[in-house]
């Protein structure tokens, strides 16, 4: 991960999570990404497949 970069006092997602790992989880459909309807934000959540997957 990178040295902490902040916008105001808020850390960026890349400061707390590896962006490459997030991309892999999205590609594997374990994480879903939605865009906020009016703001330039991304909303991440566990996919239904990930929530109900049993090992």
pLDDT in tens, 45-55: 998 877 777 66
Question: Could you list the residue range(s) of the whole structural domain that residue 40 is in?
Answer: 14-52
Helix, strand, or coil (residue 19): helix
Q: What is the distance between the alpha carbons of residues 54 and 32, in angstroms, rounded to a whole number?
A: 18
Q: Name the nearest CA neighbour of 53 among 25, 28, 30, 27.
A: 30
pTM, full prediction: 0.68
User: Which pLDDT band holds residue 5 (cuts at 50, 70, 90)?
Assistant: low
pLDDT in tens, 8-46: 677 888 889 999 999 999 999 999 999 999 999 899 999
Helix, strand, or coil (residue 16): helix
Helix, strand, or coil (residue 52): helix
Number of domains into which the chain is organized? 1
Indicate whether 8 belongs to any domain. no
Average pLDDT, the chain: 84
At CA 48, angle to CA 17 and CA 44, rounded to 5?
30
Indicate whether 45 belongs to any domain. yes
């Amino acid at each position: 991960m990178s040295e902490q970069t902040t916008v105001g006092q808020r850390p960026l997602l890349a400061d707390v999570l590896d962006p490459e790992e997030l991309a892999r989880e999205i590609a594997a459909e374990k994480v879903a990404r939605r865009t906020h309807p009016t703001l330039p934000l991304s909303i991440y959540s566990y996919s239904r497949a990930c929530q109900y997957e049993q090992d």
